[in-house]
């Protein structure tokens, strides 16, 4: 059975971009794959400086994963720090990774260009990400388009290690793009990202969620004007959630092109879609928040499964290096 891995940083609430880029696929894949999902708490340390907030966010992201439909009977869910073999593997990989590869990483360059303070952890982020993937011998990683380069780097790092030590320690992972693989825009029209503060949280209280949706940036075209839906962040989010061929998406696109519909109407349609699409997840999340013992058990079980895989991989890597 092919092994699949995915992770999300606990640096804020899980948002629509996380769900569209990976979680949605994972829920579908767990029926036919050996699945591993982890909370990327070490990655979060590149920006988070509040220990209590990190602990709370790590816990919350697990609850969110479960609420979205991950089944711990079919998916190992764990915290990154509970699998220490990953950080050892990261060091082994960093010793054979050229600095030039990191300097070309799109995510690093993008954050620096936006004025986000860079540290060594942010610079070497793709190496730790490669270790996350390679530690469990993952065959497949579901991603959005913005993460494709990191998966290609993981493949390059794995191949270089195998070549440098004349070994076949690592499986080269493949990636799978989301069906609607374009990155969801945030409320400002840019890529939806926690780092940019432009996300939409489907678990927000109803009034707060509606207010957030109503704040999505649009142009100043009048209500009567015909509009191009593909250039509107509201429509792109709607399409990313409902699906390109969903009748609701087709109908909304027609209303854009016909004119006579204001952006407020489109935002209301998006809000109603979110409330409908995530109604079950919102209910399940409330149940999980009230049952901390269940969540603890899920994490213990997941970490045990992940460490079993990671120990075997690290032993192979050590042997190849002469350790």
Instruction: State the catalytic residues.
Output: 111, 191, 194
Spatial distance between the Cα atoms of 200 and 209, rounded to a whole number of angstroms: 8
Burial 231-265 (b: 16+ CB within 10 A, else e): ebbbbbbbbbbbeeeeebbeebbebbeeeebebee
Residues ≥6 apart with Cβ < 8 Å to 161: 92, 93, 96, 167, 169, 170, 317, 320
The structure tokens 């109604």 sit at 279
Question: DSSP assignment, residue 12?
Answer: S
Helix (H), strand (E) counts: the chain: 16, 5
Spatial distance between the Cα atoms of 76 and 207, rounded to a whole number of angstroms: 34
Exposed / middle / buried, residue 147 (Cβ in 10 Å: 0-12, 13-18, 19+): buried
Yes or no: say if 132 and 184 are a contact pair by the CB < 8 Å rule: no
| Through-space distance between the first and last CA atoms of the chain, rounded to whole angstroms | 31
Helix (H, G, I), strand (E, B) or coil at 214: helix
Spatial distance between the Cα atoms of 141 and 144, rounded to a whole number of angstroms: 10
Yes or no: say if 199 and 15 are a contact pair by the CB < 8 Å rule: yes
Spatial distance between the Cα atoms of 78 and 76, rounded to a whole number of angstroms: 7
């Amino acid at each position: 059975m092919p092994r699949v891995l995915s992770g999300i940083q606990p640096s804020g609430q899980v948002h629509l971009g996380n769900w569209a880029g990976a979680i949605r696929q994972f829920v579908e894949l767990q029926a036919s794959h050996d699945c591993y999902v982890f909370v990327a708490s070490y990655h979060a340390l590149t920006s988070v400086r509040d220990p209590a907030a990190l602990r709370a966010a790590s816990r919350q992201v697990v609850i969110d994963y479960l609420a979205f439909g991950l089944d711990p009977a079919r998916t190992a869910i764990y915290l990154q720090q509970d699998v220490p073999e990953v950080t050892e593997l990261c060091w082994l990989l960093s010793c054979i990774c050229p600095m030039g590869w990191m300097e070309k990483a799109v995510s690093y360059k993008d954050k620096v260009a936006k004025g986000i303070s860079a540290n060594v952890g942010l610079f070497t982020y793709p190496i730790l990400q490669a270790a996350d993937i390679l530690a469990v011998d993952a065959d497949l990683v579901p991603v959005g388009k913005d993460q494709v380069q990191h998966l290609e780097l993981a493949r390059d790092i794995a191949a270089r290690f195998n070549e440098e030590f004349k070994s076949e320690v690592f499986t080269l992972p493949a990636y799978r793009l989301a069906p609607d693989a374009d990155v969801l825009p945030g409320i400002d029209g840019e890529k939806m990202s926690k780092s940019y503060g432009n996300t939409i949280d489907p678990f927000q209280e109803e009034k707060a969620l509606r207010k957030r949706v109503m704040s999505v940036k649009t142009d100043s075209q009048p209500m009567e004007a015909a509009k191009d839906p593909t250039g509107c962040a509201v429509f792109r989010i709607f399409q990313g959630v409902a699906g390109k061929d969903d009748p609701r998406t087709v109908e909304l696109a027609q209303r854009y092109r016909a004119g006579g519909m204001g952006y407020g109407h489109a935002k209301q349609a998006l809000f109603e879609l979110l409330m409908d699409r995530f109604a079950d997840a919102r209910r399940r999340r409330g149940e999980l928040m009230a049952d901390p013992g269940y969540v603890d058990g899920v994490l213990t079980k997941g970490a045990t499964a992940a460490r079993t895989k990671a120990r075997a991989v690290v032993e192979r890597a050590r042997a190849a290096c002469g350790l």
